[in-house]
Amino acid sequence: MKQFRYLNSIMIFLFLAALISGVFVIKSESTEPVPPCDEYLEWCIDWCAEHNPDPQNYQQCLNECARKWLEWCT
């Protein structure tokens, strides 16, 4: 049974690796594609107009575009 002496350690390592990568997947942003920074803001503003026919939602959507652009691109 000498060949299995490291099995427990390997299993624990694999478990921890799966747990850590799982946390990263959950924490990461949506996988929906978005354009690069030099095009993001203009695209997002246009996207808001197409997807939010109501002005209140439109304005909230715009503010979210600006917030994300400032966070990701500056």
Which residue ranges make up the site for other proteins (CB under 8 A)? 32-35, 39, 41-43, 45-47, 49-51, 53-56, 58-59, 62-63, 65-67, 69-70
The least distance separating other proteins from the CB of residue 70, rounded to whole angstroms, comes to 7
The least distance separating other proteins from the CB of residue 9, rounded to whole angstroms, comes to 43
Q: Which residues contact 3 (CB under 8 A, 6 or more apart)?
A: none
- Spatial distance between the Cα atoms of 37 and 19, rounded to a whole number of angstroms: 31
Structure tokens at 31: 């996988």
Q: Which is nearer to other proteins, 3 or 30 (CB)?
A: 30
The least distance separating other proteins from the CB of residue 29, rounded to whole angstroms, comes to 16
DSSP letter for 3, please: G
DSSP letter for 32, please: S
